[in-house]
Amino acid sequence: MNVTETTSSVPLRTDAKGVIRIGQTRVRLDTVVIAWRRVSVRCPAGLVLEKAQLR
């Protein structure tokens, strides 16, 4: 069995107040985590629909 390790960069940044945000949006990381934990957005497409700024 061959195991291939891959890495990918995550578009996170810390703003001037120390808040972690997604890419160049104003969306906070904790907001995305809370939305992900909700039953209604268990798929990435549902999360993007709920948080339009992530498009």
Query: pLDDT tens digit string along 6-27?
Result: 877 878 999 999 999 988 888 8
Q: What is the pTM of this model?
A: 0.57
The predicted pLDDT at position 6 comes to 82
Q: Provide the token pair at 28.
A: 């906070």
The predicted pLDDT at position 48 comes to 60
| Domain extents in the chain | 12-54
The stretch 19-48 carries a mean pLDDT of 77
Indicate the helix (H) or strand (E) that contains 36: helix 29-37
Q: Provide the token pair at 1.
A: 């069995």
Amino acid making up residue 50: E
Residue 50 confidence (pLDDT) above 60: no
Residue with tokens 């969306």: 27
